[in-house]
Amino acid sequence: MSRCVLIIRLGAVGDVVHALPLASAIRDAWPDARIVWAAEPSPSTLLLENPDVDEVLTVDTRAWRRNLPGGGLAVLRRDLRAVRRLGADIAVDAQGLLKSGFIAWASGAPTRVGFEHRACREGMNVLFTTRQAAPPAGPHHVVEKNLRLLEPLGIPVPPPEARRFPLRERPGEGEVAEGFYRREELAARRPLLVVHPGAGWPTKRWAPERFAALGDAWNGATGGGVLLTWGPDEEEIVRQVAAAMRTRAAVAPPTSIREMTALIRRGDVFAGGDTGPLHLAAALGLPCLAIIGPTDPVRNGPWGPGHAVLHQPLACSGCYGRACPDIECLGRIEAPEAARRLLGIWKAHEKYR
């Protein structure tokens, strides 16, 4: 009987993307294993059509916390029963939180792999795991950290060229994206810059007028178009960017994360902050300009070669603060420098394509 491996990386979008090579490495080492991935409802949709994942188990921890004595408790019980029914032999916790550790423990898997105490966001997570992985020494990307979870399983860490980020389209998704491209005449406005100016934290959001200036500079230098994408509660931001631009930008319609992925896939280059769409774009192979504020540019920048990161080092760099009185780290990044770096990665991409 083949072993069952449960991967726990609940969210968010960028975090799920960064754990994809972990599933690929397990699949390559154990091709007959049954691999199940537990994730929150929205980011879980990225795992559909993934050849390295046999089953996606949706775990709604937000619903657990809503009215826990009432409906939340029922959802908690439902999710834990589903986890237990898997009969997992191995649980791999790539999140390092109390809730992810609890899910690993609740699975009943006799082998539960997680991070060492110092590498967990919530140190008590180690109480739920039976084997712990050390993070890489020195500065490292989160993809590298995730792959260290392979070592307690005796699986070698794959070299960079063997790391996969499967993000396959489902039937119909491409047609919807291409229909939007036709309506907006984006196919004729090449090369196309995809800009995502929003972010979950205010401290990750570069000023809309600077994104507008970046889009204008792109159009002026290349003659190409600009597509503005947005997620929940971000529509006003893209409207501000579009209104501040001298040239016309296409504004994406409301999209699910999979629909947004289809739109990004058809672009040529990407610009944005440390947010899920940036990491999707990098995984899809677009050269990316990342404008990084309070997070670590080495850990949280776009994965892989061919990208550019703009980051202003300050005494408080790497604070991961979600609130700041002035957001000086982003305020010091000017649009002309961003345009120069963006055009640089595009020219390099064109040269070697």
Query: Rounded to whole angstroms, what are the CA distances from 255 to 17, 261, 279?
Result: 18, 9, 17
- pLDDT score, position 181: 96
Cα–Cα dist 312/96, whole Å = 29
Mean pLDDT computed over every residue of the chain: 93
Q: What is the pLDDT of residues 141-150, one digit of tens each?
A: 999 999 999 9
- pLDDT score, position 185: 93
Q: How many CA atoms lie within 13 A of 283 on its CB side?
A: 25
Structure confidence at residue 351 as a pLDDT band (50, 70, 90): low
Mean pLDDT over 265-280 rounds to 97
- pLDDT score, position 55: 97
Mean pLDDT over 262-290 rounds to 97
Structure confidence at residue 93 as a pLDDT band (50, 70, 90): very high
pLDDT above 60: residue 135:
yes
Return the ∠ at Cα 215 (arms to 14 and 306), rounded to 5°: 50
Structure confidence at residue 350 as a pLDDT band (50, 70, 90): confident
Q: What does pTM read for this prediction?
A: 0.93
- pLDDT score, position 321: 86
pLDDT above 60: residue 1:
no
Sheet bearing 4-8, strands edge to edge: 55-58, 34-39, 4-8, 90-93, 111-115, 131-133
Q: What is the pLDDT of residues 36-88, one digit of tens each?
A: 999 999 999 999 999 999 999 999 888 777 766 666 788 888 888 999 999 99
Return the ∠ at Cα 201 (arms to 276 and 50), rounded to 5°: 15
- pLDDT score, position 353: 61
Cα–Cα dist 296/251, whole Å = 30
- pLDDT score, position 72: 77
- pLDDT score, position 68: 66
Two structure tokens written together for 310? 């703009």
Cα–Cα dist 178/54, whole Å = 29
- Burial status of residue 278 (CB atoms within 10 A of its CB: 0-12, 13-18, 19 or more): buried
93 with 101: CB under 8 angstroms? yes
- pLDDT score, position 69: 66
- pLDDT score, position 326: 83
- pLDDT score, position 70: 64
